[in-house]
Amino acid sequence: MSTSWTISGTDGTLYTVVTDTTTMYQAVIQGAVTDEIFGAFNSAGFTIDLARTDLQTKTTIEGLYSINGYPLLSFPKLSSMGYSVSYTLEAPGYRNYPLTVPVPQSTTVFPVPAPNAAMRRLPVRLQGRVVSDSKGLPVAQALVVAVDNPTPPSPLTQHTMLLRTPLYQVHANNAPVRQAAITAGASLTLSQPVTGGATTLMMSNASGLTTGTLLRLETPSLTLLEYVQVQSLGPAAGQVNLTSPLNRSYGASPGATNVNVVTAALTGSVAHLVTDANAGDGILVADTLLQVTTLAIDAGSGAVEYHEVGAITDGNGYYGFDGVGRVQELFLEANGTAPPTPWMIEFDQATNIVDFRI
């Protein structure tokens, strides 16, 4: 039978001394991860980032894991209060997955089960070339889009739409997606070139712009085109501060970039995301396929953003999409040619190549 007593140190610190006590090193939290797309998970690099030094981790390549320690030492007041353990699941080729697992007050049975975690693959780039089938020459201004599987094994419950530029911010599951009819207004001129990731534009004249003004930047070929919103102006003359960083880079030399003030009117039916979307995703997974030119995501909220559907080939027939993931297979069309080209996304390749002959 154990006994305890309190002694005082020379510095006044009180210590509790226990004789004949037993501690047990064991799993205090246990969990498993899966692959969001494929289900089965397999990664030799699967690890757990855990800041607490009193707890250690154990993982398997199949996604099983445990967090281990001495419960009495790690949760000393468990009889009167609850605890929580925060950590991050990490694996090469996947987005980090942060978790916080509560250890309820008065818990006596360990390990505590962690919620199942579906690890999300990092997106890849999809690019290729469109050439004429009869002459083998590059096709400029061809539109490459994602369409539905023409012969699905069962009724489709999700539909994919590829965006010309990736999303600027996170959008929740069930966020609305609608067609946006764009009307161009005043033309503006960049006074300085701007690189992707910048949050400021320098204009020759920014008069008439206000917070919330929607701008469209595009190259004459339309291969690069994106919509940005004005957050504020100044302090420098012609300085336009944006709500989100630019996805692309744009030149300021004559004819390099067209900048317009635009307005967007919502029209058509409403689709909804069937899974949340990450910033940087170049794909939407929704309950309806919207075969339109421009989309408004999360219209009516502070997170609204506008994107063109599909990629346009340049003068040499090349096109590209960034941020492609979230699904196992795509069906692609160039200029509406049928049947569509099926493509299983190769997540172990940073760049996927899909060419077309039309």
Instruction: Report whether pLDDT(18) > 70.
Output: no
pLDDT at residue 24 in the model: 83
State which amino acid sits at residue 52: R
φ, ψ for residue 202 (rounded to 5)?
Answer: -110, 115
Question: Which pLDDT band, with edges at 50, 70 and 90, does 8 fall under?
Answer: confident
pLDDT at residue 11 in the model: 73
The two three-digit tokens of residue 214, written as one number? 């929607």
pLDDT at residue 338 in the model: 87
Where does residue 294 rank: exposed (0-12), middle (13-18), buried (19+ CB within 10 A)? Answer: buried
DSSP H/E element including 112: strand 112-113
pLDDT at residue 2 in the model: 53
Q: What is the average per-residue pLDDT within 251-259?
A: 96
Q: In 9-108, where do the E strands start and end?
A: 14-19, 26-35, 47-49, 56-59, 64-69, 83-90, 97-103
Domains of the chain, earliest start first: 3-119 (2.60.40), 124-357 (no CATH)
288-301: per-residue pLDDT in tens?
A: 999 999 999 999 88
State which amino acid sits at residue 222: L
DSSP annotation string for 237-289? TTEEEESS--SS-B--STTT-EEEEEEEEEEEEEEEBSS-B-TT--EEEESS-
DSSP H/E element including 73: helix 71-74
- Buried (b) or exposed (e) across 81-94, using 16+ Cβ within 10 A? eebebebebbbeeb
219-238: per-residue pLDDT in tens?
A: 999 999 999 999 999 999 99
